[in-house]
């Protein structure tokens, strides 16, 4: 053991690493964390009331088990953080919570009671180029039902997602679940004689651009192709004009009323076995949603919804925010999707070779928290600091800690100042921590059996419109000296708590 | 889009990965998770009452920022999961929560109000050989104060750790914090003329084996060395016989009473500046603990505590379980340490070159949960399943979902059976899920405006000592048919809840 001084010298001599978080990784402090934890606690409560059980799998999976099923990405095998284990097997950090669920279900398929309902939350990692609002680590919250092919399983996920979003803080009318079914478009394309997989994917990709390009742009992409403003040409899906029109009519069939939408979809796609099956599934979802009291204010059918190209096999859904949100310039901003999901009946078959029906919903926790904050719906208080007990003399530390312990025992956050600074800097410290009060226990107070409590909120409020600084200092507003046994009551009054 | 059947065939043709979690990684289900979440929620509440704010850093850090400060490991640079970023920088999964804290503090040192108190919890990863009870991913919960050199900062961490362990479920007398100070042994060795760093480390390593080898074995390791039962020889620290005796006397100076222990330590080490400084620090810790009402039943001084060899610079502490725990054979088992910590004033200087005082405590969440379970102090209930609404007919799904929604709105977990099986299998499903009740809503009940509720707990209890199976079946114990609007009340009675 060296003495402290020589150790510091040694540290100073060594080459010093730069203190920085990896690109695209975030440090989150009290206020952001509190908002996310509140969302997760409330959503968990809702999901458990729906009979979903918590499951937590590890951060790393074997790469072959993760597979290449990353939704919403064309080149899924890139984009993970991979490393080789000491037995040479490749592992990777999970990029979502569904792939580990599929692995878990396949691994435990003998002992698992089905349908198996589970929810999970935690970080996922994507090795992509980070950017503003785009991180390489973020928190997802998922719920999935494995082992039920019934459309009611989709409906339950949708109803639960809606209730979860409401519990998280979204107001009535602040969000809507938009629901579609892959089998509808498949049926429509079957009827139009489109059998090629690549062509079907190109149709889905074109429809997915409706928001950005509008019907005119999508019509070009469904046909021969489209040249954008820069002159770059995107090859189209190569549909006939008639087929392209029927696809566009299909995507426009959404109406507020769910039954009306089903009628309109039937008109444009009716006829194929696959399309009829898709319609029947949506009708089952509608009935179950009605049974759960979920009306068109919270869940609508919308044939323009696409999601995860090669991933979903039936119903797909997207949670869209409809909050009034203003951007930094005070302009109304569109926040768009906070989550989505659907039916993915082929994922578990990767392991087992047996088709296993599954459906689920996933949302981004930080994204929802950011939306709530932007909409002024962040129910969290400002992160308050603790009551600070001012430390005058090392000899009276025991008394200071007695005060802090008494406050804590009463459920009030408190700390003794433990830095090396004087009174003035200590008051500044309490102020920077947003402490509600400071407790002053000088030699006089200890001798007299009293304690002085300073209301820092009041002090801050008064200081902001004080004109006569000297008079204000002399009066010491918001400061009172009381008998020691009244300490907790006085602090509670300052905190605005019932005694 | 292919049809479902051809997709399944395609999946069957592809090579199938084996569904398995990586070695040393755990899947945790409802009950274990509930216990860990309860511990974290309660400990967080205590830590926030002490004025510690939550902080969450990312899973990955740059390898040079993580450094080689893994405590309690002789070869720390091994043992991490490392990978190279696309800009060739090496990153690694954090192996604890302290190294990321040091990086965070150094990175934000301009804007951070000090002393900075933070707590954090989350998974950490160690790339070591897994074994029984030894995982490569596990959850830690840490609290640290950065920027205070005062011994009271150590005392506060110790008091908070004790209160946190109690909040987590440990009973009075079920644990004790054992406290030591590195500077004491340094002072003793200074006085004995031992100046060599390697020799001092060898002394610490020898003392660390007291538990396993007893004073006789340690005496050999402090001197020339020791031959174990297999004949292997471990070279000793090479102390003189007198110096070895004083080290042993020092490690034996612990007494129940803290003041008495300080007197006994002073007797064996008194005299060196470093030893006196260590004694003064322990005296400060004692006074602050007394101020917070933490007596010798919860925190004692124990000079035999070692911990993290090249890591700690002052106070060190260890949380030892003293619960009556029985192993699988019903024999009393020693659970030992669930956590520990100490003062590490040199860690942040790796980045900044400036000594920054810091002290903290860390415990293993799964380990504490396992100890509580082994001691029968797991306050968690058995993970109950939801009320199951039996699904007879696809045509009545809307009614079933109405019942489930009504129960959920009353705060009761409920689900509609969504598998493909008949009545008998559905009752078995409810039983395997540990559901408290099943709701039966056949065509008759729907027509009559009634509902049948079956008490599954009662059914299970009766079934276990029934002799006349036929009579029991005819009577249908625990099953009652009531008007539809009495549903919630009946289920609440079964759950044993107040209405």
SS3 of chain A: the string is: CCCHHHHHHHHHHCCCCCCCCCCCCCCECHHHHHHHHHHHHHHHHHHHHCCCEECECCCEEEHHHHCCCCCCCCCCCCCCCEEECCCCCEEEECCCCHHHHHHHHHHCCCCCCCCEEEEEEEEEECCCCCECCECCEEEEEEEEEECCCCHHHHHHHHHHHHHHHHHHCCCCCCEEEEEEEHHHHHHHHHHCCCCCHHHHHHHHHHHCCHHHHHHHHHHHHHCCEEECCCCCEEECCCCCHHHHHHHHHHHCCCCCCHHHHHHHHHHHHCCCHHHHHHHHHHHHHHHHHHHCCCCCCCEEECCCCCCCCCCCCCEEEEEEECCCEECCCCCEECCCEEEEEEECCCCCHHHHCCCCCEEEEEEEHHHHHHHHHHCCCCCCCCCCCCEEECCCCHHHHHHHHHHHHHHHHCCCCEEECCCCCCHHHHHHHHHHCCCCEEEECCHHHHHHCEEEEEEHHHHHHHHHCCCCHHHHHHHCCCEEEEEHHHHHHHHHHHHCCCC
Is B86 a residue whose pLDDT tops 80?
yes
Which range, of A343-347, A473-477, B136-140, averages the lowest pLDDT?
A: A473-477
* Cross-chain Cβ contact A19/B351 below 8 Å: yes
User: Which token pair is A414?
Assistant: 């408190």
- Residue B329 contacts A, CB cutoff 8 Å: no
Residues 6+ apart with CB under 8 A from A352: A106, A109, B16, B19
Distance CA B382, CA B384 (A): 6
Distance CA A445, CA A427 (A): 18
**Per-residue pLDDT tens for B392-437?**
998 999 999 999 999 999 999 999 999 988 989 999 999 999 999 9
* Cross-chain Cβ contact A25/B58 below 8 Å: yes
- Name the A residues in 6-65 with CB < 8 Å from any B CB: 7-8, 11-12, 14, 16-23, 25-30, 33-34, 37, 48-51, 53-62, 64-65
Which range, of A403-407, B71-75, B308-312, averages the lowest pLDDT?
A: B71-75
Q: Helical H runs in B193-320? A: 197-207, 210-222, 241-251, 258-269, 273-291
Residues 6+ apart with CB under 8 A from A125: A59, A80, A81, A93, A94, A95, A136, A137, B59, B60
Which range, of B69-73, B203-207, B389-393, averages the lowest pLDDT?
A: B69-73
* Cross-chain Cβ contact A386/B14 below 8 Å: no
Bridge-based pairing of strands A387-389 and A60-62 is: unpaired
- Residue A199 contacts B, CB cutoff 8 Å: no
* Cross-chain Cβ contact B60/A29 below 8 Å: no
Residue B496: per-residue pLDDT: 86
Q: How far apart are the first and last CA of chain B?
A: 53
CB-CB contact of B3 with B336 (8 Å): no
Handedness of CA A156, A158, A162, A167 (dihedral sign): positive
Residue A13: per-residue pLDDT: 57
B140 assigned binding-site residue: yes
**Per-residue pLDDT tens for A268-311?**
987 889 999 999 999 999 999 999 999 999 999 999 998 876 78
Is A327 a residue whose pLDDT tops 90?
no
CB-CB contact of A382 with A353 (8 Å): no
Q: Which residue does chain A place closest to B345, by CA atoms?
A: A4
Rounded mean pLDDT, A214-225: 94
Residue A135: per-residue pLDDT: 94
Distance CA A369, CA B31 (A): 28
CA of A410: how far to CAs of A417, A455, B117, in Å? 19, 18, 21
Domain boundaries B30-374, corresponding CATH code: 3.30.930.10
Return the DSSP state at B80: S
Residue B379: per-residue pLDDT: 54
Rounded mean pLDDT, A338-356: 93
Using pLDDT thresholds of 50, 70 and 90, give the confidence band for residue A114.
Answer: very high
CA B252 to centroid of chain Cα atoms = 30
What percent of chain B stands above pLDDT 90? Answer: 68
Which range, of A130-144, A228-242, B9-23, B115-129, averages the lowest pLDDT?
A: B9-23
CB-CB contact of B412 with B495 (8 Å): yes
- Residue B393 contacts A, CB cutoff 8 Å: no
Using pLDDT thresholds of 50, 70 and 90, give the confidence band for residue B11.
Answer: very low
User: Which token pair is B206?
Assistant: 């020898």
Which SS3 state, helix, strand or coil, does residue B220 take?
A: helix
Distance CA A212, CA B140 (A): 45
CA distance A199 to chain B (A): 9
**Buried b / exposed e across B239-270, counting CB within 10 Å, b at 16+?**
beeebbebbbbbbebbbeebeebbebbbebbe
Whole-number CA gyration radius for chain A: 30
Using pLDDT thresholds of 50, 70 and 90, give the confidence band for residue B74.
Answer: very low
Residue closest to B292 by CA, chosen among B438, B158, B401, B116: B158
For the domain made up of B387-495, give the CATH fold.
Rossmann fold (3.40.50)
Residue A326: per-residue pLDDT: 76
Using pLDDT thresholds of 50, 70 and 90, give the confidence band for residue B460.
Answer: confident
Is A474 a residue whose pLDDT tops 60?
no
Mean pLDDT of chain A: 88
Which SS3 state, helix, strand or coil, does residue B398 take?
A: helix
Using pLDDT thresholds of 50, 70 and 90, give the confidence band for residue A72.
Answer: very low
- Residue B199 contacts A, CB cutoff 8 Å: no
Rounded mean pLDDT, A407-425: 94
Residue A115: is the preceding peptide bond cis (ω within 30°)? yes
Distance CA B288, CA A32 (A): 33
- The side-by-side arrangement of strands in the sheet containing B299-301 is B53-54, B116-125, B137-146, B358-364, B337-343, B315-321, B175-181, B299-301
Q: Which chain A residues are within 8 Å of B274, Cβ to Cβ?
A: 3
User: Would you list the domain boundaries of chain A?
Assistant: 30-374, 387-495
* ipTM entry: 0.90
Is B271 a residue whose pLDDT tops 90?
no
* Cross-chain Cβ contact B413/A51 below 8 Å: yes
Rounded mean pLDDT, B1-16: 49
CB-CB contact of A335 with A372 (8 Å): no
Q: Which residue does chain B place closest to A8, by CA atoms?
A: B355
Distance CA A97, CA A121 (A): 8
Strand partners, A143: A119, A361
Residue closest to A386 by CA, chosen among B42, B50, B73, B241: B50
CA of A361: how far to CAs of A64, A75, A315, in Å? 24, 22, 11
Burial of B365 from C-beta contacts in 10 A (0-12 / 13-18 / 19+): buried
Consecutive H or E run containing B141: strand B137-146
Using pLDDT thresholds of 50, 70 and 90, give the confidence band for residue B73.
Answer: very low
CA distance B414 to chain A (A): 6
Q: How far apart are the first and last CA of chain A?
A: 53
Q: Which chain A residues are within 8 Å of B385, Cβ to Cβ?
A: 51
Question: Could you say which of B102, B137, B148 has the minimum Cβ distance to residue A58?
Answer: B137
Residue A429: per-residue pLDDT: 94
Using pLDDT thresholds of 50, 70 and 90, give the confidence band for residue B193.
Answer: confident
Residue closest to A419 by CA, chosen among A443, A388, A442, A440: A388
CB-CB contact of B288 with B155 (8 Å): yes
Rounded mean pLDDT, A418-437: 92
* Cross-chain Cβ contact A127/B349 below 8 Å: no
């Amino acid at each position: 053991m060296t003495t402290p001084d020589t150790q510091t010298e040694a540290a100073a001599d060594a080459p010093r690493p730069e203190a920085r978080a990896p690109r695209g990784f975030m440090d989150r402090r009290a206020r952001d964390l509190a908002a996310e934890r509140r969302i997760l606690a409330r959503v968990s409560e809702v999901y458990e009331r729906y009979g979903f059980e918590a499951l937590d799998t590890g951060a790393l999976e074997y790469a072959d088990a993760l597979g290449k099923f990353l939704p919403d990405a064309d080149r899924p095998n890139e984009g993970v953080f991979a490393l080789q284990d000491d037995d040479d097997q490749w592992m990777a950090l999970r990029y979502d919570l569904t792939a580990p669920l599929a692995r878990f279900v396949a691994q435990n398929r003998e002992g698992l009671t089905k349908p198996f309902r589970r929810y999970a939350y935690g970080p996922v990692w994507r090795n992509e180029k980070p950017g503003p609002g785009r991180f390489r680590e973020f928190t997802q919250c998922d719920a999935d039902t494995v082992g039920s092919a019934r459309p009611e399983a989709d409906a339950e996920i949708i109803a639960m997602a809606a209730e979860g979003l409401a519990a998280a803080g979204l107001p009535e009318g602040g969000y809507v679940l938009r629901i579609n079914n892959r089998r509808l478009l498949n049926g429509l394309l079957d009827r139009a004689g489109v059998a090629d997989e690549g062509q079907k994917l190109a149709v889905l990709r074109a429809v997915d651009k409706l928001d950005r390009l509008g019907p005119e742009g999508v019509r070009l992409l469904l046909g021969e192709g489209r040249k954008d403003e820069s002159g770059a040409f995107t090859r189209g899906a190569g549909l006939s004009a008639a087929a392209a029109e029927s696809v566009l009519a299909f995507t426009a069939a959404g109406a507020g009323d769910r039954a009306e939408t089903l009628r309109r979809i039937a008109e444009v796609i009716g006829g194929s076995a696959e399309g009829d099956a898709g319609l029947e599934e949506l009708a089952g979802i509608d009935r179950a949603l009605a049974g759960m009291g979920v009306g068109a204010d919270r869940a609508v059918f919308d044939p323009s919804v696409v999601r995860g190209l090669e991933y979903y096999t039936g119903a797909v859904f997207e949670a869209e925010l409809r909050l009034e949100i203003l951007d930094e310039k005070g302009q109304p901003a569109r926040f768009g999707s906070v989550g989505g999901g659907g039916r993915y009946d082929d994922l578990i078959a990767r392991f087992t070779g047996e088709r296993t029906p599954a459906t689920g919903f996933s949302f981004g926790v930080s994204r929802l928290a950011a939306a709530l904050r932007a909409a002024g719906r962040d129910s969290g208080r400002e992160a308050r600091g603790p009551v600070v007990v001012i430390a005058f003399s090392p000899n009276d530390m025991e008394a200071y800690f007695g005060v802090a312990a008494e406050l804590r025992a009463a459920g009030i956050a408190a700390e003794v100042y433990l830095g090396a600074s004087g009174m003035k800097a200590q008051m500044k410290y309490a102020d920077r921590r947003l402490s509600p009060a400071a407790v002053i226990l000088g030699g006089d107070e200890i001798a007299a059996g009293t304690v002085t409590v300073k209301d820092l909120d009041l002090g801050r409020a008064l200081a902001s419109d004080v004109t006569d600084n000297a008079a204000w200092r002399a009066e010491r507003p918001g400061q009172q000296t009381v008998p020691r046994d009244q300490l907790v009551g006085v602090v509670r009054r300052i905190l605005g708590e019932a005694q």
